[in-house]
Each structure stands twice: as C-alpha cells, then as structure tokens.
Structure 1
Amino acid sequence: MSKVYTTQELIQILAAERQACLKGKRLKLEIKVSGNPVIDQFIRTDGLQQFTAYQDFKTAIHEYQKENRVSGIIWREVTVKGKNLHYPEIDTELIALNGDLEILKAAKNSIVEFWYEVTEGMDLYLSFNNSKQHQQIVTSDVERIVQRTEWASLCKWENSSFLEMILQLGWGKPEEAYYKRGRPRSGSEYIHAVNPGNRPIG
C-alpha cells in the first residue's frame, strides 16, 4: 500500500505548488480570456494561467483528501487575557470531510463560550459587505446568530493598545463559507469584539 499524506504534508505541498504557480513555473496554457482568438492575442494571460493551474492542483488535492480520508482539520491555540483555548478549524486550502464537520460542530460551544468570556465588556460589531462595513450589535444579536449556525472559529488581532476578537459563526462547508462561494447552503457571519471606543480593523 502506498503512503498516504498527512494533513500537514498536504498543506506543505499546496504551499509549495502555490509558490511555483506564482513564480510562473506552472501555467495552464489553454486558458482563453475572451474566447475570441483575435482579442486573446493582445491580452496577457499569465496571471490567469497561474491562478487556474493552482486551482486545478488544489482540486486534485481535495479529491485526494476524499479518496484517502485525510482530514482538513488543523488545531489552533489562542491566548487572550491569560486564558487559553485549543480548538479545531479547517485549513483554508483544504476541505472538510464529514467527520471534520462533526468535530467542528462538537467544538462550537467551547469556542463561543471562550469568546464570550474574553470579550466581556467589549463593543460588538457584525461585519458585512465582505468585512468592509460593520454594524454595532448587542449580545442578544450574537446569540441569535449562534443559534442558527453549526460551527465556529476565532481570529485575534492584538498589539499593546488594541485587541479585536473575531468570532466566525458558520454553517455548511467551511471551504465554501470562507469566500462566500456556497451561499445559501454554506456561509458564515463574523462578529468583531473591540474595546469600547474602538472600531474593528479585521
């Protein structure tokens, strides 16, 4: 039986392939921008060829994940205000298997509880328009979103004078939710907590 790559190995393989594509070492040559050969000869397609080559490779890795049941989960650790949380999330370049989704769902409550604990007294904002805009909300708004979502993830922005804790609340497949490609079957909402008087930056 041949060796099955681990989650970490697949992440490294994808990172190396992404770099190769960005450097122009991998191109998908049959890309046509307009479909009109007269126009296409005047349009540079390097970037599109690189992007498409990487997307094709990534799709092959996702198929490999499914065939070999290689999890897309990575484990993160976050420390905020002296409190720690070890939690699962799907690597942004991989997909979630059905078992991964169950792990994410099981971890949701502990992630949300941790977020509530470390954001007590902070101002809350819901981001929209691809996080370009934020609307201030209250805890009851967050609770309604928590009730209708399946999994959660965290992101922290911090320096000596600023703290922002972002709670991602999602449903469906994380790989579709990250870039809003899967709506309505997959998606997520981002809740930003910042110290009073500050605005979200993430």
Structure 2
Amino acid sequence: MAYTTAQLLEILDQELKAAWRGERVLLSTDRRLDNPVISKALGSDKVSKVFAFQDFRAQIHQYQNEHSVSGIVWHECRFKSRTIRFPEIHQQLTAIPEDKLALIGAKTEVIDFWRASIDGLRLWRAGNPPEPVSLARVNTLIKQAEWAEVDATRSELYLILCWGNPKECYYTWAYPESGCERIIAAVAEPSGIKV
C-alpha cells in the first residue's frame, strides 16, 4: 500500500528538520553549486543541508509518480463573509497528471467565489507597479486560464489564473509554456503585497 499525501508531507517535514539539525550530510557539494562566491558565503555545511533535502524531495517526487500519489492539498480562502475550499499543489510535492485535472475541475467554483466577492472593488493586474485592468480584460484572462486559485487579506482578494505545468506556473522562467496572471481586487490601490 502506497503512502498517502499527508504521510509524504510528514516524511518530508521530518527529513527537512533532520537536514537542518545536521543529521544529513551530502559530500562534494562544491560540485553542485556553480557559483563559488555563493558557495563560500553559505559555507559547505548549509549547502550540504540544502542539497541533501533537495535530493530527498526528488526521491519523494519519483515515488509520487510511480505510485500515483497526489500532490494536492486543500486550501481554504476567506474573504468578507464568504469561504471557499479548493485544491492546490503543495509546494514540496509534485503534481501527478490526475492532479491537474482536479485543479481544472475546481476552476468554475473558484471563479464564482471571486466574482461574488469583488462587488465594490477595483481591479488591478499585479506588476511593478500594479496597473488598473477592466473586468472585460479579466474575463478574457479567465477564459484563457486552465485553472484558478484565490487568496486574500482582510481588504484585498487575489485571483491567480494559471496554465501549463502546475509546478512551474509560478516562475517567470517557465513562461509562456506555463504561467499565472495575477489580479488584485482592492478598494483603492493595492497594498503592494507580492502575489
């Protein structure tokens, strides 16, 4: 019987703690980091801890794929008087093919929650600086996205519209094959929190 997602997360947590306590050692880390300045600044002990955990996490990802263990956890978002619970890929796990289908399947519910929550708020496209965006433009972005996520502070609601690889979509280097458009709904200008 395969480990569950929760069990894998517990194993990863234990391994991370063990690595930071110095109980995991990776020899020859100097060959793993191409930048000698960063390697020297961090020291071989810290570099060893990072690579030891990365290697272990790669084994967990391989296990997930071999045994079809989902990388999905459930995220709860509250904004105003509304609450939604939707799937997302845990940052330490990988997505198996079925996970992307679950993300896609939750898109309509996430978008409905977002639309019901933005009354009276102005829309901004995240960037530096954020720029105002029309609801019509956001609707176009919604149609283009494969799945959606939301997050919130007390006064701002963030809509994240994603496509491509669920583990790469948050990184700019993955664009255009994978990516995310981020929309901020706020009373006035966004607070500057990075989404």
TM-score of the two chains, using structure 2 as the length reference:
0.86
- CA shift at 1:59, angstroms? 1.0
Q: What does the per-residue CA deviation read over 1:48-80, in whole Å, with 9 as the maximum and x for residues that have no partner?
A: 222211111111111100111011111223232
Pair 1:67–1:194, CA change in 2 (3 A): same
Q: Which residue of 1 aligns with 2:109?
A: 110
Q: Which residue of 2 aligns with 1:82?
A: 81
Letter in 2 for 1:155: D
Q: Secondary structure at the match of 1:75?
A: strand
Pair 1:40–1:168, CA change in 2 (3 A): closer
Q: Looking at secondary structure, tell me which structure has more helix per residue.
A: 2
Q: Which residue of 2 aligns with 1:134?
A: 130
Q: Which residue of 2 aligns with 1:14?
A: 12
Distance 1:75 1:98 in 2: 17
Pair 1:77–1:46, CA change in 2 (3 A): same
1:170-181 paired onto structure 2 within 5 Å: 170-181=162-173
Distance 1:182 1:66 in 2: 21
Q: Which residue of 2 aligns with 1:50?
A: 49
Q: Which residue of 1 aligns with 2:141?
A: 145
- CA shift at 1:144, angstroms? 1.9
Q: Which residue of 1 aligns with 2:174?
A: 182
Letter in 2 for 1:74: V
Distance 1:155 1:143 in 2: 18
- CA shift at 1:200, angstroms? 3.9
Q: Which residue of 2 aligns with 1:28?
A: 26
Q: Secondary structure at the match of 1:176?
A: coil
Letter in 2 for 1:201: I
TM-score of the two chains, using structure 1 as the length reference:
0.83
Distance 2:39 2:167 in 1: 35
8 Å contact 2:78–2:152 — kept in the other structure? Answer: no
- CA shift at 1:151, angstroms? 0.7
Distance 1:41 1:147 in 2: 44
Percent identity between matched residues is: 32
Q: What does the per-residue CA deviation read over 1:85-106, in whole Å, with 9 as the maximum and x for residues that have no partner?
A: 2211111111111111111111
Distance 2:175 2:34 in 1: 27
Q: Looking at secondary structure, tell me which structure has more strand per residue.
A: 1
8 Å contact 2:148–2:159 — kept in the other structure? Answer: yes
Aligned-pair RMSD on alpha carbons?
2.4
Structure 2: which 5+ runs fail to align? none
Q: Which moved more, 1:46-55 or 1:104-113?
A: 46-55
Distance 1:9 1:180 in 2: 31
Distance 1:69 1:147 in 2: 29
8 Å contact 1:125–1:200 — kept in the other structure? Answer: no
Structure 1: which 5+ runs fail to align? none
Letter in 2 for 1:199: S
